[in-house]
Amino acid sequence: MQDVKTMICDNLSVSSRGHLLFGGHDTVELIRQYGSPLYVMDEEKIRRNARIYVDSMKQYFGNGSHPLFASKAASFKQIYRIIGQEGMGTDVVSAGEIYTAKAAGFDMSLAYFHGNNKTDADIAYAMENGVGCIVADNAEELEAIERLAGERGIRQKILLRLTPGIDPHTYEAVATGKVDSKFGAAIETGAAEELTLLALSKSNLDLWGFHCHVGSQVFDSEVYLAASEIMLSFVAKMQKDHGLVTRELNLGGGYGVRYTEADPVINIAENIALVAAELKKTAARLGIALPCILMEPGRSIVADAGLTLYTVGSVKEIKGYKNYVSVDGGMPDNPRYALYGSAYTVEIANKMDESKEFVCSVVGRCCECGDILQENVKLTSTVTRGDILAVLTTGAYNYSMASNYNRIPRLPIIMVTKDSSYVAVKRETFEDLIKNEI
């Protein structure tokens, strides 16, 4: 029997029948009730994760400092309701995310609009839907915001996205704060100061401050301390040289989560306390007041609040070569292994009490060899058609990155609560697949 204490997240346990429990719910029963495959999310866990940020940011940075949920990690109506109720703002990166948040009744004044290439239509859409702040990326965008704000007779609150030039020691695709990143303006090259002066010269732009995002799945707290130091020094320089008093400093998202036992446990509250202490010290040294601090966690709010359940279809042993376990999902519902080689923990949810000796690749049902969920997985050697396979920690960047490749309908999201469960996102139908086709 798997020791509950060794499981990667505190909302996972094993029942006396050897079934995997998630948020106290029997995952085998969930499949029976809602069909296969399924994304399952634990509402209480999302709320707990959110509260850690809301409470510690208030405690350590003071009133006015708060987290924004980076909704690219998981964008659907119910998630905006949950994080709104917990006192988080949101980071949105497209008109589609704005539309979804608004449809959920989210307070759009708490939305920050990101992206390195917002079209005029995106910017106009954000303004018309009351998005509180636009995080401007470049000079062309500043000109467009200035013009579109002028046409509407408004003064648009903005932050400027800067790159502090830090290597966050994560994988390349998500290391976004380096000087050569496609995002923002680099402090090191002088581009950040130029962008600031341009923003200050515009009458329809209300420059509140600056933003940076060093990367994603980051465990090294030094990275945040270094970014804070660089950003605050820039804030002080802008104040001294150009009289700009920064009201908000947004440090982005990025704290890592445990996909496997090899990943460290990260204490978010302790990390926030560390960053706060460093920022206060630096602000005092630089002789400036500490602006309100924002953070944009995505993964660390939802990843471990989700898992995916599949049904095993076949077990193929190619003697002397490789073993395959095929499930009824794959890269359309979780492209992260195919894209980044991301590690996951995989369990046979109805056989948690059996030892694991069968080394295999867990693959999907797409017509392509790259359709792999995980390789070198150890499962019970009795694994067979009809077993329930769980991939853990899939609450972030799975549903939001899902596709209909091979015309496979997207999975539903089932939300479990303390004593019940409900459908937060319905399973796609074949009609949904062709609804835009003539």
Q: Which residues are catalytic?
A: 367
Q: How far is the CB of 114 from ligand LLP (least distance, A)?
A: 5
SS3 281: helix
Distances (CA, A) of 367 to 327, 374, 401, 405, 408: 13, 17, 19, 9, 11
CA atoms within 13 A on the CB side of 45: 24
Among 40-48, 249-257, 325-333, 426-434, the segment contacting ligand LLP (CB under 6 A): 249-257
Query: Among 299, 351, 365, 410, which residue interacts with ligand LLP (rule: CB under 6 A)?
Result: 299
Cβ closest to ligand LLP, residue 14 vs residue 218: 218
For residue 253, state whether it binds ligand LLP (rule: CB under 6 A).
yes
Helices within 153-210 (DSSP H only): 191-200
* 151-170: contacts with ligand LLP (CB under 6 A): none
Site string for ligand LLP, 98-137 (x = CB under 6 A): ----------------x-----------------------
CB 415, CB 43: distance < 8 Å? yes
**Whose structure tokens read 């008109």?**
95
Q: At residue 377, what are phi and psi to the nearest 5 degrees? A: -90, 145
Residue from 84, 132, 168, 298 touching ligand LLP (CB under 6 A): that is: 298
- Residues 390-409 interacting with ligand LLP (rule: CB under 6 A): 397
Given a contact cutoff of 8 angstroms between Cβ atoms, the answer to whether 300 and 268 are in contact is yes
Query: Does residue 254 interact with ligand LLP by CB under 6 A?
Result: yes
Nearer CB in complex with ligand LLP: 298/332: 298
Taking the complex as a whole, how short is the minimal distance between the CB of residue 25 and ligand LLP, in angstroms? 25
List, in sequence order, every residue forming a beta bridge with 312; answer none if it has no partner: 327
Q: Judged by CB under 6 A, how many residues of this single chain contact ligand LLP?
A: 19
The Cα–Cα gap between 174 and 113 comes to 19
- Please identify which residue in 13, 18, 87, 174 interacts with ligand LLP, judged by CB under 6 A: 174
Residues 6 or more apart in contact with residue 297 via CB below 8 angstroms: 49, 53, 67, 69, 70, 253, 254, 255, 268
Residues 66-85 touching ligand LLP, rule: CB under 6 A, are 70, 72-73
Strands 248-250 and 205-211 turn out to be parallel
Q: Judged by CB, which is closer to ligand LLP: 30, or 131?
A: 131
Cβ burial of 2 (10 Å; 0-12, 13-18, 19+) is middle
Work out whether 176 is an interface residue with ligand LLP (CB under 6 A): yes
Using CB atoms within 10 Å of the CB of residue 156, give its burial: 0 to 12 exposed, 13 to 18 middle, 19+ buried: buried
202 or 336: whose CB is closer to ligand LLP? Answer: 336
Q: Does 297 bind ligand LLP (CB under 6 A)?
A: yes
Minimum distance of ligand LLP from residue 133's CB (angstroms): 13
Residue 213 touches ligand LLP, criterion: CB under 6 A: yes
Q: Which residues make up the interface to ligand LLP (CB under 6 A)?
A: 70, 72-73, 91, 114, 174, 176, 213, 216, 252-254, 296-300, 336, 397
